[in-house]
Copies of this chain bind each other. A is one copy, B any other.
Amino acid sequence: MDRRFTISELAKDFQITTRTIRFYEEKGLLSPERSGTVRLYDSKDRVRLVLILRGKRLGLTLDESRDIIDMYEPDSANAKQLKKLLTKIREKREFLKQQGKEINKMLSELKMAEQNCAVALANAA
């Protein structure tokens, strides 16, 4: 259960390049172990990658994703930090809810477009 992965294993599993993974590390989103100079990734790193990639699909920047990921692991935090974090989390939630609404709008509009298109196709036949 404590298997480690090489960078190219990760790349294959997540369908990204090794360059991308190293880039995420540069940006402070990952910090794998090192065996000498070589990077070794564990399951926590994999979770982080899942979150990063989901964030990307949702249009978040890497900086935003890093913020969110940090939310999942409130480290040795004092009350002030925690309050700030709570605020951030709530903001992010509001943003995502809004995003959800916009998606629904677009979905219903596309549905109408689809119907129009189908009708036009039927008439053309």
Closest-CB distance, A19 to chain B (whole angstroms): 21
Q: Can you list, as one digit per residue, whether each of A56-79 has a CB less than 8 Å from chain B (1) or not (0)? A: 011100000000100110100111
Q: CB of A44 within 8 A of chain B?
A: no
Measured in the bound complex, the distance between the Cα atoms of B110 and A42 in whole Å is 23
Query: Can you offer 28 A-B residue contacts whose CB atoms are under 8 A?
Result: A54-B105, A57-B59, A58-B59, A58-B99, A58-B102, A58-B106, A71-B110, A71-B113, A72-B113, A74-B113, A77-B120, A77-B124, A79-B121, A79-B124, A82-B117, A82-B120, A82-B124, A85-B117, A86-B114, A86-B117, A86-B118, A89-B110, A89-B117, A90-B114, A97-B107, A100-B100, A100-B104, A100-B107
Residues of A in contact with B (beta carbons under 8 Å apart)? 54-55, 57-59, 68, 71-72, 74, 77-79, 82-83, 85-86, 89-90, 92-93, 96-97, 99-100, 102-107, 109-111, 113-114, 116-118, 120-121, 124-125
